[in-house]
């Protein structure tokens, strides 16, 4: 979110989450592109982080596990300069 943006907290049920996640995973990339900066790759849902409740702890864990492969993808399409 950009600085100054705000949103009202909300809750959804586990069933609602499942429907939304399935819709995002199964929506063609062409339909997502106008709404998502990184729609060039399919969404990856990694359930190994499901038990982490704290947002910053979750972000740190995801980055630690997936940073290298994400940077490799970005370099592959010219969105990140090559190392070295």
* pLDDT of 61 higher than 80: yes
Q: What is the pTM of this model?
A: 0.55
d(CA 53, CA 22): 22
Structure tokens at 8: 């009202």
d(CA 48, CA 45): 9
**Average predicted confidence (pLDDT) for the chain:** 85
d(CA 77, CA 38): 11
Structure tokens at 74: 């970005």
Helical H segments across the chain, by residue range: 14-26, 29-32, 55-76
Confidence bin at 70 (pLDDT 50/70/90): confident
Lowest-confidence pick of 12-16, 33-37, 44-48: 33-37
């Amino acid at each position: 979110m950009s600085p100054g943006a705000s949103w009202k907290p909300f809750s959804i049920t586990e069933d609602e989450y499942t429907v939304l996640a399935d819709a995002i995973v199964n929506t063609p990339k062409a339909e997502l592109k106008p709404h998502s900066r990184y729609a060039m790759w399919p969404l990856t849902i990694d359930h190994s982080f499901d038990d982490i409740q704290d947002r910053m702890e979750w972000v740190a864990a995801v980055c630690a596990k997936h940073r290298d492969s994400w940077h490799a993808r970005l370099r592959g399409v010219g969105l990140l300069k090559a190392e070295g």
